[in-house]
Structure 1
Amino acid sequence: MHKHQLDELDLKILDGLAHDARTSNRKIAAELGIAEGTVRARIKRMEAEGLVSITAMTNIARLRNPILAYIWVEAERSAQCEDLAQRLAAVPEIGFVGKMLGRFDLLAITLVQNHAELAAFLHRRISGLPGVLRTECSLGVNFVKHDYRMSRIVKVEAENAVE
């Protein structure tokens, strides 16, 4: 299946959905001055091509005592980074994995309830993975801003870069 590059209209449709994914196709169409069928068809195409995924997101600020744990991972050898990134991505409790430039090779992000849970998670799920040389953690304790649309921005930029 041929993947299309996201055009200006696709991005406007995504922007309408980013504020509230429950926004009707009719409302988006009216705001953009296009037919509802055009909105529906474009969303369907973007989903089919894996360019977008419409999903519900938990508001982490509403969770009871959430601690956002940033787990910085240094690989034993740079050649292991891709395999290690895939292994981290397969861990259900991890919500983000990224390859990094700088002191650490990878960043994994998860939510924990307390320090003991984080320590157990690191020892049980991360430290024993093949290729992990060392880890370091940073904890997010006060969420000043968490824009859920950021994942859309990152995904769109990544998809456009592949084309």
Structure 2
Amino acid sequence: MTGLHLDEIDHRILAELTADARLPLVTLAGRVHLSRNAVKQRMERMERDGVIDGYTLRRGAGSARRMTAVVLVYRADRMRGGGVVTELARIPEVVRCDILSGQFDLLVTVIAESMDRIGEIWEQIAALPGVADTVTSVSLARPVDRA
């Protein structure tokens, strides 16, 4: 991260975006009393500095329930190359990939529209060169969600 100096206006921009990441730039600019271009430049700086790490959409309870699965991946090469991770990043339903210590090398979180799609993705992961074994678990419920 480069120059990580945040002033009061930066903090107000972050608070507004935290409350509503879809806030139109013109509305945000009015709320922090700056021009649209000044707010845009500040947001771009905060993105470059890693203060803003992305914009997300969280589906509400009214949307169709999506399936979540966790795939533990054991790699034959014990993480000596980046090919498996590169291929995982190309699968849109792979929302997270953690490198682990211990028996397994990767923890891959998959969110898909159906169990059939989870199965297709599992087959795709298991077939990747360098993947020696996988263990997959499907989420049945999410009693705590602090994301």
Pairing 1:112–2:116 present: no
Moved more, 66-75 or 7-16: 7-16
Question: 1:129 corresponds to which residue?
Answer: 128
Question: 1:156 corresponds to which residue?
Answer: none
Which structure has greater helix proportion?
1
Instruction: Specify which of 26, 30, 43 is matched with residue 30 of structure 2.
Output: 26
Q: Percent identity?
A: 23
What is the SS of the residue equivalent to 1:59? coil
Cα 1:145–1:79 shift into 2, 3 Å:
closer
For structure 1, the 5+ residue unaligned runs are: 30-34, 151-163
- 4+ long deviations beyond 4 Å: none
For structure 2, the 5+ residue unaligned runs are: none
Q: Is the 8 A contact 2:75 2:105 kept in 1?
A: yes
Whole-angstrom CA distance in 1 between matches of 2:80 and 2:44: 37
Say how many residue pairs are matched. Answer: 138
Alpha-carbon RMSD: 2.9
Cα 1:117–1:129 shift into 2, 3 Å:
same
Question: 1:17 corresponds to which residue?
Answer: 17
Superposition deviation, residue 73 in structure 1: 0.9
Counterparts of 1:51-66 in structure 2 under 5 Å?
51=50, 52=52, 55-59=55-59, 61-66=61-66
Question: 1:102 corresponds to which residue?
Answer: 102
Whole-angstrom CA distance in 2 between matches of 1:105 and 1:12: 40
